[in-house]
Amino acid sequence: KAGVTQTPRYLIKTRGQQVTLSCSPISGHRSVSWYQQTPGQGLQFLFEYFSETQRNKGNFPGRFSGRQFSNSRSEMNVSTLELGDSALYLCASKPSPGGVFADTQYFGPGTRLTVL
Amino acid sequence: AQSVTQPDIHITVSEGASLELRCNYSYGATPYLFWYVQSPGQGLQLLLKYFSGDTLVQGIKGFEAEFKRSQSSFNLRKPSVHWSDAAEYFCAVGLISNFGNEKLTFGTGTRLTIIP
């Protein structure tokens, strides 16, 4: 079974631009979460989607948004990029959102975004 | 608010030596605790998790962790490290909101270097 895939793996943008990152979950997984990883702030939860609906959201500004499609693939968008948005963006999938952490999250390799 | 502290940013261990990575958490209730590993260029992989019951938890790759409520700790151990264990290790605590949403809060990570 293929793992979580993220595209692109690397991306360079300039301040003020917008960017869209894509995540394809493991087949059969319907919950997709996004995380931002930076050296200064570590791993921070962005949001979680299930059945095309956002279920959970971290403390990020409205410039960060996401969506999920009917095939469970998810995209996240960052508008008006700032230098501080440079990070590794990780996507994780699991079968369903519930289960009291019973379902293991499987992480993708991430998209490395550099903002110049 | 919950928090996770990994006091050691970087640890160097000789191959074959024992390993202990420290993790302290701050959380009012009984926490859900996790250890993840991230190899270079890879996403995070779950090593083990603790929900309740036996305070010594066995994980993959020969790792184990012990939950000590009195010390608010969940330290990761391995009796004999291998060169392939060189990676970054993250401790995380899980929170379930009043709405039933699950969210992971990660520590800042400990980078493990193995010397021959």
Alpha helices in A1-116 (DSSP H): none
- A42, A45, A107 member nearest B43 (Cβ): A107
Query: Chain B residue with minimal CA distance to A99?
Result: B102
**Separation in Å, CA of A95 to nearest CA in chain B:** 14
Short-list B34, B6, B10, CA closest to B107: B6
Tell me the sheet residues that pair with B95. B103
**Separation in Å, CA of B52 to nearest CA in chain A:** 12
Average of per-residue pLDDT across A77-98: 91
Percent of chain B with pLDDT over 90: 69
Average of per-residue pLDDT across B21-28: 89
Q: Which carries the bigger pLDDT value, residue B59 or residue B95?
A: B59
Query: Chain B residue with minimal CA distance to A54?
Result: B101
**Chain B CB contacts of A42 below 8 Å:** 90, 106-109
What is the rounded CA–CA span in Å between residue B102 and residue A97?
8
What is the rounded CA–CA span in Å between residue B102 and residue B28?
16
**With bands split at pLDDT 50, 70 and 90, how would you rate the model's confidence at A27?**
very high
